[in-house]
C-alpha cells in the first residue's frame, strides 16, 4: 500500500515531468522555414538538407514544415526524415501530391505507398490542382534526352523490340534516336500475368513516368508497373 505522503510526492513528480514536457513541446514542434528545391530536396532554414523521397518537385517554393522523425542519411548525406506541414493532413509528400505540387516517383517507394500517392495524384489531376492546370506531359515524338529530368511522356507505341532480358517500346521509326521505354523483366511478367503481351501494345497510347536518360535517343527505364499506364 502506498501512503498518502508518497502518493502526493508521486503526483507532484508527475506534475513536474508533465510541466517539463509541456515546456518542451513548442520547441520540438516548432515550424521551420523550408525551401523546396527541385527535383527532390528540402533545404531547412538551419542549413540541413532533407531528401524528398518518392516525389519529384516541379518548381521551387517556400513553406513552413515540422521535422518529426529522422531515419538517418541517404548516400548523398541528406537527411532521411518525416516532414509535416502545420494545419494539413499527412506528411509533406502527401500534401504536395494532393495539392498538385509534385509528381509521384514509384521507383523510390514501395508499391503500396506509391499506389496510395498515385491515387492522390489522380484526384489532383482530375480537379486541375496546381501543376495539373497545365499538365506537364511531354509528347513522345518531341521529347529530348537533355536535360536529365523526371518526366511524364505520352504517345503511341510504334514498335516492340527485344534485346537480352529487356523489352523495348519504341515511339518512332528510328529506335536509335527516337524515344523509347525499356521494360524490366519484372514489369513484363506483371503485364503477362494480367493478360497483356508487350507486342499487343503496338498502336496503343501509353503514358510513362521516370527519369529520362540518353541511350542513343531519350529513354525511360520502367522498373515498376506503376510507371506505365496504358489507355484502353
| pLDDT tens-digit series, residues 63-75 | 999 999 899 999 9
The mean pLDDT of the chain is 87
- For residue 6, count CB atoms less than 10 angstroms from its CB and return exposed for 0-12, middle for 13-18, buried for 19 or more: exposed
User: What are the chain's domains?
Assistant: 32-132 (2.40.50.90), 136-230 (2.40.50.140)
Model pLDDT, residue 29? 52
pTM above 0.75, yes or no: yes
- pLDDT tens for 7-61 read 323 333 434 344 433 343 443 458 999 999 999 999 999 999 999 999 999 999 9
Query: What torsion do the CA atoms of 163, 169, 175, 178 make, to the nearest 10 degrees?
Result: -150
CB-CB contact of 50 with 40 (8 Å): no
What is the C-alpha separation between 152 and 134, in angstroms, rounded? 13
Checking if the pLDDT of 228 tops 60, the result is yes
**210 close to 222: Cβ distance less than 8 angstroms:** yes
Amino acid at each position: 500500500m502506498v501512503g498518502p505522503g508518497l502518493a502526493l510526492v508521486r503526483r507532484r513528480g508527475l506534475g513536474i515531468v508533465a510541466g517539463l514536457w509541456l515546456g518542451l513541446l513548442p520547441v520540438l514542434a516548432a515550424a521551420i522555414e523550408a525551401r523546396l528545391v527541385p527535383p527532390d530536396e528540402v533545404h531547412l532554414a538551419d542549413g540541413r538538407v532533407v531528401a524528398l523521397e518518392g516525389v519529384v518537385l516541379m518548381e521551387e517554393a517556400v513553406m513552413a514544415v515540422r521535422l518529426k522523425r529522422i531515419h538517418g542519411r541517404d548516400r548523398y548525406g541528406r537527411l532521411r526524415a518525416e516532414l509535416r506541414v502545420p494545419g494539413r493532413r499527412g506528411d509533406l509528400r502527401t500534401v504536395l501530391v494532393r495539392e498538385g505540387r509534385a509528381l509521384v516517383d514509384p521507383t523510390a517507394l514501395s508499391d503500396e505507398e506509391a499506389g496510395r500517392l498515385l491515387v492522390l495524384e489522380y484526384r489532383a489531376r482530375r480537379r486541375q490542382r496546381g501543376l495539373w492546370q497545365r499538365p506537364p506531359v511531354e509528347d513522345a515524338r518531341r521529347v529530348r534526352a537533355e536535360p536529365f529530368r523526371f518526366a511524364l511522356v505520352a504517345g503511341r507505341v510504334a514498335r516492340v523490340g527485344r534485346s537480352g532480358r529487356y523489352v523495348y517500346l519504341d515511339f518512332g521509326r528510328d529506335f536509335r534516336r527516337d524515344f523509347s521505354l525499356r521494360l524490366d523483366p519484372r514489369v513484363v511478367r506483371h503485364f503477362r500475368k494480367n493478360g497483356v503481351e508487350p507486342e499487343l501494345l503496338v498502336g496503343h497510347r501509353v503514358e510513362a513516368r521516370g527519369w529520362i536518360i540518353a541511350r542513343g535517343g531519350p529513354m525511360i527505364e520502367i522498373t515498376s508497373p506503376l510507371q506505365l499506364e496504358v489507355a484502353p
